[in-house]
């Protein structure tokens, strides 16, 4: 059962997702001339980086350390690395397909590219929703803010890629809807697990979810879309780097104020 706060966040995330994607889907010809929200992306990258390295991964390490006290191995970081490399593999695949289309002088993107990109954004969205549900309120609020900031720009970019591809109109809408509902589905599943699992099973699940979310945040803040990533494309400017640093420092300050991110 979701709390009132979680329901409000769930509908807020859905609203932002559809708000970000509606314009490209409804007006594809005009949307192609819009460049997005660069400084917002830079700030979000800083938030994601801090969430990964200062909140999610340390918390996952702490939780899994309590579950497996005799295991002399950084299990949380292994899980995070697995999530990171899975997303990296999907990113490579999309670039290979795009490169083949460019060599063949194809004007429209192959339908496979937005489908791959939807998968690699929907999976992190689902995991972040689950991490939101299993986190205490103080940390959950910051995760919610980060999701909201990223969801609109991701929705816009994904919808724009869809209208530039060979996807039919109904296929684009269906694929976009799957993306939009990925985070709410993660929130619902995370809440159900939190309420239904026993203490030990919940600690294992919580540690794994936080580790996966940490690897996801780390990937989204650094290598997502390679040469178009905010850290490379935007943060090379003074304003972009300042916004990146601001996102990181604000998140780090919140972590310092709230103390231990996950209490028992």
Distances (CA, A) of 209 to 15, 105, 215: 25, 42, 10
The closest alpha carbon to 95, from 82, 109, 81, 84, belongs to 109
Q: What is the spatial distance between Cα 192 and Cα 160, in angstroms, rounded to a whole number?
A: 34
- 222-249 average pLDDT score: 69
- 87-105 average pLDDT score: 67
Residue 60 has pLDDT above 60, yes or no: yes
Q: What is the spatial distance between Cα 108 and Cα 157, in angstroms, rounded to a whole number?
A: 16
* pLDDT single digits (tens) 98-112: 665 555 555 556 677
* pLDDT single digits (tens) 172-225: 889 899 989 999 999 998 888 877 877 788 788 888 888 888 888 788 777 765
* pLDDT single digits (tens) 149-158: 777 777 877 7
């Amino acid at each position: 059962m979701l709390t009132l706060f979680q329901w409000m966040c769930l509908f807020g995330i859905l609203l932002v997702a559809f708000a970000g994607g509606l314009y490209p889907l409804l007006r594809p010809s005009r949307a192609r001339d819009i460049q997005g929200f660069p400084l917002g992306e830079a700030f979000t990258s800083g938030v994601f980086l801090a969430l990964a390295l200062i909140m999610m991964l340390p918390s996952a390490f702490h939780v899994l350390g309590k579950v497996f006290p005799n295991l002399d191995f950084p299990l949380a970081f292994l899980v995070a690395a697995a999530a990171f490399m899975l997303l990296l593999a999907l990113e490579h695949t999309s670039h290979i397909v795009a490169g083949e289309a460019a060599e063949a002088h194809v004007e429209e993107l192959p339908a496979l590219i937005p489908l791959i990109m939807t998968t690699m954004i929907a999976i992190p969205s689902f995991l972040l929703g689950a991490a939101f549900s299993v986190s205490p309120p103080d940390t959950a609020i910051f995760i919610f803010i980060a999701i909201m900031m990223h969801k609109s720009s991701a929705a816009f970019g994904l919808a724009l890629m869809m209208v530039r591809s060979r996807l039919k109109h109904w296929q684009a809408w269906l694929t976009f809807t799957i993306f939009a509902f990925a985070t709410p589905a993660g929130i619902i599943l995370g809440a159900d697990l939190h309420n239904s699992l026993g203490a030990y099973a919940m600690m294992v699940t919580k540690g794994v979810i936080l580790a996966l979310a940490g690897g996801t945040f780390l990937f989204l803040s650094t290598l997502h879309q390679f040469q178009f990533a905010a850290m490379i494309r935007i943060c090379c400017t003074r304003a972009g780097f300042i916004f990146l640093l601001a996102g990181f420092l604000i998140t780090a300050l919140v972590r310092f104020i709230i103390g231990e991110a996950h209490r028992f």
